[in-house]
Structure 1
Amino acid sequence: MSDIPNHTHDRWLSFRLGGQLYAAPLQEVSEVIRDGELTPVPGAARDLLGIRHLRGRIVPVLDGRRRLGLPEVHDGDEGEVRLVMLSHGPHLVGLRVDAIGDLVHTQGADMTPPPPGGTVRQDDPVHGVLPWQGGFVALLDVRRLCRLPLESEAA
């Protein structure tokens, strides 16, 4: 447990991407909305699908599959695709996911670091895994997932 960042989050919203469960801290999820019209951004990173207007704000929307290096083929129900609006400080970023899952409660759970074998990256958005419903759920760091600066860098 000592290798996991000290997060105070104990409730997480899970979602499915490429047959795997991921979760974001519930307190950093502002809302979940239906997928909709996006405006492409020329020259943007490959995982940026575009921008969307949301109640007067311009919100970048990331493709969760591309951001996490998963196959882009969606074999699920297109009607279940959602945008999870993630907020971190003043930032709001949308993440397209295949389907929304359950709330995951981590209080007292046995959270472990990500399994070895993957490429170790300083900006890896997966900061821990948790046994869940016969499998596991990968817990995401929203700041790293959305490539947001540290608060000290944003000043």
Structure 2
Amino acid sequence: MNHLSHADVIARQPWLGFHLDGQHYAAPLSHVSEVIHDHAPTPVPGAADDLLGICQLRGNIVPVIDGRRRLGLRTIPLDDTEAVRIVVFAHEGHRVGFRVDAVGDILRPEAGAIEAPPPTRSWHIDDPVQAVLAWQGGFVALLDVVRLCRLAPESQRVA
């Protein structure tokens, strides 16, 4: 039986890179449905702080999450709003938009360049960072889309 390490599993797939507040992130390309231009979603009263609202995408209602707020980053206005995109993630029939400052490259990580996230991140129960990739003299946080978009069933969430 072939047992793959977590790094090997990560390295077997391409990742879509994107930028938020000057930091590099990536999500598995297999979960990316599409990337669209940013537009103002319709606000939802009483929604979570990081939910910008909902938008209609080809007849479907799609919630749109503010990437900066979701990851605990600064929410300052951007100088260049032309690069802002909404990455639409898909998982088991659900679609969730995730606003990013800019979309980057397609990454094909090598297992040897992948490390566990820093232990200081463990305080955040629904932290979506599953690994860190050494890349171009810096690092890319590799994200778990199910946690990032909070798509896990309630029964599987840690209280």
- Give the TM-score normalised by structure 2: 0.87
Question: What is the match of residue 128 of structure 1?
Answer: 131
Q: Which moved more, 1:71-80 or 1:123-132?
A: 71-80
Q: In the alignment, which of 54, 57, 76 is matched to residue 57 of structure 2?
A: 54
Residue 93 of structure 1: aligned partner? 96
Confirm or deny: 8 A CA contact 2:10 2:109 kept in the other structure: no
Unaligned 5+ segments in structure 1 are none
Could you say which residue in structure 2 is the equivalent of 1:25? 28
Q: How many residues align?
A: 153
Give 1:5 shift. Answer: 9.8
Q: Give the SS at the match of 1:78.
A: coil
8 A Cα contact 2:133 2:141, kept in partner: yes
What does the per-residue CA deviation read over 1:47-87, in whole Å, with 9 as the maximum and x for residues that have no partner? 00000000010000000000000000144411000000001
- Report what 2:70 is aligned to: 67
| Post-superposition offset of 1:45 | 0.1
The residue type equivalent to 1:145 in the other structure is: L
Between the aligned partners of 2:110 and 2:51, the Cα distance in structure 1 is: 33
Q: Is the contact between residue 25 and residue 141 of structure 2 (CA under 8 Å) also seen in structure 1?
A: yes
Q: Quick one: structure 1 residues 26 and 147, their matched pair in 2 at CA, closer, same or farther if it must change by over 3 Å?
A: same
Q: Distance in 2 between matches of 1:109 and 1:4?
A: 8
The residue type paired with residue 120 of structure 2 is G
* Superposed CA RMSD: 2.4
| Matched-pair identity in % | 56
Q: Deviations over 1:19-63 (max 9, x none)?
A: 100001001001100001310000000000000000010000000
1:79 aligns with 2:79: no
Partner residue, 1:103: 106
SS at match of 2:17: strand
Deviations 1:87-138 (A, max 9, x none): 1111100000000100110244421111122342342100100011110100
Where does structure 2 lack aligned partners over 5 or more consecutive residues? none
